[in-house]
Structures are given as structure tokens and as C-alpha cells.
Chains A and B, each alone.
Chain A
């Protein structure tokens, strides 16, 4: 059973978002990392890039699969997790902490309401 922290919001495409002071930290869920298997590479967006919710902002790769990352929110990329360049396995080991991917300065906090709650995300996984 994968971990789904109650305080986070989720996209149907398996990203999570945590908002603090108008900045959303984004990663992929425990369920998603588990389905991918051992990650070998993470491609991240560039700082300064302006993205809309649903835009492709990166790729996570395992040996046998590659999956696009979509930003769950709109805004400007203000930071990326550079540690992943050498240690992509952080996403496998600590997906909600050291395995975060990038941070977005929100342009519209109201968008968060479009994301799933932990319960709703759990329900989505159960139905897959």
C-alpha cells in the first residue's frame, strides 16, 4: 500500500503539490514511483520557465519506461531539485521529501481546488 500524505494535493497524472507562501513544491507520488521502478534519470524544467497547469515540465525514466511530468499548477519555475541529477533514486526512496522535482511560484492559487485530495487520489488509484 503506497503512502498518500493527507496534507498534499494530487493531479490525476500522479504529481503531488504542497503550497507554502504562494510557492508549490511538486513531486510524483509514492504510487507513481513504485509503478515506474528504479529511476535512472530525471529531466527537469529550467528555472524561469513559465508553465500552465497541465504543461509537460519534465520526464522521469526507469530502465524500461519513461513518463512525462505535468505541472499540476500554473506559474513560474523558481527552483529545481538539482540533487536528482546525481541521485535520481531520491524519488524512489523519499518521494515526498528529498525526491521533490521543482517549485512553482503560483500565478493562480485558485487552481489548487482543481487538484485531488488525498482521499480522491486514493480512490483513483483503487479504480485503476
Chain B
């Protein structure tokens, strides 16, 4: 069957997309390369025609759900519309062909966009400095915690060995703390979704390097005690790290800098509408308060008195935590975010927080009305909210995973499932500001129909999906009998 074939199975020796590569050279052109360093056999790459390649990958693309095709309410992922104009602008030849080491004389256009983007991000987050260097949210987290460490180290304050993290946090937070040489201490979250303040105060001490948290939290609610939390951590001598995973909820409404955070990362692939690309690339710029300015990762864009732009690098900022990539991060993603920021402008930024919150609260109320159970029914939703299907799992044997799979049959991408870990059988749902009311209503209709199915024919729901290119996959076989590369 052609639909399951791999590109390697289309290969025939001697076939090729001849117009795609330069003509063959005689082997004497390679005589400067010693024979013992040459490979003995050609690599086993596919030998296929141009049309075979185009058709194969076009057909594969049709097996994906995507924002361009479906509602994609993955909580904490902010799957908003990715403007096509941003893609076209980032792929302008002047940007695309610019070598990352091109001299400043041939980089003024690019540098000007980066300089302005740094300033926009400073303004919307209330921070004093921004570096665009980190290539993803996780790398932004790394940069942020590495700066916290550099700050303590520079003061000779070397007894600080612990990072505090609420137990609802995303797994990257503890993984990042360890990469920066810290131990992790988890702080419990209370039944209302807010951090247990007394437990936090008890955990703070001279060993506290900092606290990592999101706000709104991964529970989909705004942390109301944020100022008390900031005070407790600061009084212990620690710094506050803001994980920008949920920045979309508060864009234009409240700024991390005003809440007392010392360092933040932003996910431009979420908040600034750059594409997720099937898993990346993203961009995870970091912003800092005054006292962390010396440690920002390089390079950054600066502006001279005469209006021209230049790079700021470790030769002038020797206290920087350094480079996180060979060059300057995911420049093309940053250009797309720049386009988005210029399109929205001041008014548009404010509307992002407003309308993403409106959509989430509307969707929550409508889902509750059709029989879904909210994890935090007494709280306002932020830009996302949690449903729990613990009751359905217990009474009907239908789990959150089953409902997620059945949603695919209704042409709706499933929300984030089983996260945060502390809410059983949960969905984390984030509709974003770019979905129309009709799209939200269709999702509600699908959920109502599935709950009905779960009551009447639970075994069918447990076997879903039925309409996708494959049925449920054998993950156990995949992990036990590893098949990670094709062999004929």
C-alpha cells in the first residue's frame, strides 16, 4: 500500500532528481582528499524522482492535524493562528541569505528588527533587559536559572543550593534546575490551585537560590498571592523565575516585572504566534530585572548614538552566561515574532490577554453546562482551564485518554491530557483568542456527544479513534522492540 510506504521503499538504483544537484565531477577533482579518509560506499539515501518526493511528503502532510485544519486546544501550548504574512516576511531573500557572521555593515536591517523586538518584549513584560538568544522555552529556562546562579556566584553567596518549584509545574522546570547544578525542592499546591503559602515560607531559607513558577499557573488560574510569594522568596535572598508558558493569559493586562519577578522566559512560538512546526523550532527569549542585566546570554542587538546597530557580545559583556548556540538563536522565528508584534501594536497586545481569557471562560462555562467537571469550579479560568474525568473513569471505565482519542473522530484535536499530574484524569484546555465562537461551540457539541457515548456505549469510546490513518498504536511494542531506523 503506497500510503504506508517509506521514502526508502520508493527507491530504485540510478533514479534521481537530476536537476536538483550540480553535475558529477571527475574523480581527479577529489585527489586532494586522501583515499583512506574517503567513504568506501555511497550512503544509503533514497534514489527517487522529484515528483516522487513531492507526492510522498505532500501525502504525509495530509496525515497531520494542524492549526490550519483543526481546532487545537492544547493547554499550555497556545496554538493560535500563525499569520502567513509573518512567514513571507521572514523568508525575504535579504534575511534568508544573510550569513550569521556577516559584518555589521551588512546586517543593519536584521539588527534593527532584533533591537526593536527586544524593546517590545521589555515593554510587555516589564523587565529591564531582554536577550533573544535562547532557542526554545527550555533553553530560556536554562538561561534564566543559569543567570540566577551567576548572580549568587558573583556575590560569593555560594550556600544557595536549592530551587523551589510548585508540584504542579511542568517537568522542564526541575530538569532545568538540575542542569544548572541545583537541587529541587517541590512546594505543594493547595486545593484552590494556589501555592500553599505557609509551606513555601517554611521551605525558604539561606539555601534557597530561587523559585520557578508560572502565573497563571499550570492549574489554569491566576496565583493570587503572588506578591506574598515574591516577598517570602526575596526576603530569604532568593530570586523569582517566571516561566512564560502562560504569558498569553496576561499579555497587556499584568506584567511579570510588576509582579516581582527577576527573570522570565517567553515562548514566542506560543505568545507571539510563530509556528510550532511539528515540534519546533521555537524561541525562548529571556528578560531580566536590573540586577541580572550583566548576565544576559549573548549576542544581543545594541544601538549606537548615531542610530546604527551593533552586536553586544562577550567581549564587551564579560559577565554574560555566554552563548547558547553557535550563532544567535532562531533568528527566523524572531523575525516572525517581530512581524506579529508590529501587526498587533499596543492595542492588539492588550486584546490578546483579554480575548484569550474570554474564550477560555466561555468554553469552561459551556462545557460545565453539558456535564463536564471543572477541577477548580470556584475560580476564574485564565486563558486555559482544567477538566477532570475522574468520575467517568471510575463509573464508566472511560478515561481522559479515551475521550481525547474520540475527539479526533469529531475532527477536534485533543487538549493536553494528564497534565498537570496532580489532577487525575484531566484535560488542560486552551482555546486561544483566534478561535471564533462557532469553533468553540463545535467543540462543546463534540464533548457533549462523547459524554453521551461514554454513558451508552463506553466500549466503543475506549476503542477510538476510528477515522484516523491508524488506530491506537502499540506503545509497549514500540518501546520493547526498538525500531528507530528502517532497514531493508
Q: For residue A1, which residues in chain B have a CB less than 8 angstroms away from its CB? A: none
Q: Smallest distance from the beta carbon of B178 to chain A beta carbons, Å?
A: 15
* A38 at interface by CB-CB < 8 Å: yes
- Chain A: CB-nearest residue to B478: A63
User: 1/0 contact trace for A79-93 toward B, CB 8 Å?
Assistant: 000000000110000
- Chain B: CB-nearest residue to A40: B479
Q: Smallest distance from the beta carbon of B480 to chain A beta carbons, Å?
A: 5
- Chain B: CB-nearest residue to A41: B479
Which of B475, B478, B480 counts the most A-chain CB atoms under 10 A from its CB?
A: B480
Q: Smallest distance from the beta carbon of B230 to chain A beta carbons, Å?
A: 34
Q: For residue A89, which residues in chain B have a CB less than 8 angstroms away from its CB? A: 480
User: 1/0 contact trace for A25-65 toward B, CB 8 Å?
Assistant: 00000000000001011000000000000000000010100
Instruction: Give Cα A40–Cα B476 distance, bound, in whole angstroms.
Output: 6
Q: For residue A40, which residues in chain B have a CB less than 8 angstroms away from its CB? A: 476, 479-480
Q: For residue A61, which residues in chain B have a CB less than 8 angstroms away from its CB? A: 479
Q: Smallest distance from the beta carbon of B476 to chain A beta carbons, Å?
A: 5
Q: Smallest distance from the beta carbon of B195 to chain A beta carbons, Å?
A: 25
Q: For residue A63, which residues in chain B have a CB less than 8 angstroms away from its CB? A: 475-476, 478-479
Q: For residue B476, which residues in chain A have a CB less than 8 angstroms away from its CB? A: 38, 40, 63
Instruction: Give Cα A40–Cα B482 distance, bound, in whole angstroms.
Output: 10
Q: For residue A88, which residues in chain B have a CB less than 8 angstroms away from its CB? A: 480
Q: For residue B479, which residues in chain A have a CB less than 8 angstroms away from its CB? A: 40-41, 61, 63
- Chain B: CB-nearest residue to A38: B476
Q: Smallest distance from the beta carbon of A67 to chain B beta carbons, Å?
A: 14
Q: Smallest distance from the beta carbon of B179 to chain A beta carbons, Å?
A: 18
User: 1/0 contact trace for B239-266 toward A, CB 8 Å?
Assistant: 0000000000000000000000000000
Instruction: Give Cα A38–Cα B477 distance, bound, in whole angstroms.
Output: 10
- Chain A: CB-nearest residue to B401: A64
Which B448-482 residues have a C-beta within 8 angstroms of A? 475-476, 478-480
Instruction: Give Cα A89–Cα B477 distance, bound, in whole angstroms.
Output: 11
- Chain A: CB-nearest residue to B476: A38
Instruction: Give Cα A61–Cα B478 distance, bound, in whole angstroms.
Output: 13
Q: Smallest distance from the beta carbon of A63 to chain B beta carbons, Å?
A: 4
- Chain B: CB-nearest residue to A86: B480
Q: For residue B480, which residues in chain A have a CB less than 8 angstroms away from its CB? A: 40-41, 88-89
Instruction: Give Cα A63–Cα B480 distance, bound, in whole angstroms.
Output: 9
Instruction: Give Cα A89–Cα B478 distance, bound, in whole angstroms.
Output: 14
Instruction: Give Cα A88–Cα B475 distance, bound, in whole angstroms.
Output: 15
- Chain B: CB-nearest residue to A63: B475
Instruction: Give Cα A38–Cα B475 distance, bound, in whole angstroms.
Output: 10
- Chain A: CB-nearest residue to B481: A40
Q: For residue B478, which residues in chain A have a CB less than 8 angstroms away from its CB? A: 63
Q: For residue A41, which residues in chain B have a CB less than 8 angstroms away from its CB? A: 479-480
Q: For residue A38, which residues in chain B have a CB less than 8 angstroms away from its CB? A: 476
Q: Smallest distance from the beta carbon of B477 to chain A beta carbons, Å?
A: 9
Q: Smallest distance from the beta carbon of A83 to chain B beta carbons, Å?
A: 14
Instruction: Give Cα A61–Cα B480 distance, bound, in whole angstroms.
Output: 10
Q: Smallest distance from the beta carbon of A120 to chain B beta carbons, Å?
A: 27
Q: Smallest distance from the beta carbon of B413 to chain A beta carbons, Å?
A: 20
Instruction: Give Cα A41–Cα B476 distance, bound, in whole angstroms.
Output: 10
**A-B pairs with beta carbons under 8 Å apart, 13 shown:** A38-B476, A40-B476, A40-B479, A40-B480, A41-B479, A41-B480, A61-B479, A63-B475, A63-B476, A63-B478, A63-B479, A88-B480, A89-B480
* A residues neighboring B (CB under 8 Å): 38, 40-41, 61, 63, 88-89
Q: A38-B476, A40-B476, A63-B478 given. 7 additional CB < 8 A pairs?
A: A40-B479, A41-B479, A41-B480, A61-B479, A63-B475, A63-B476, A89-B480
Chain A to chain B: the 10 pairs with minimum beta-carbon distance, closest first: A40-B479, A63-B475, A38-B476, A40-B480, A63-B479, A63-B476, A40-B476, A88-B480, A41-B479, A89-B480
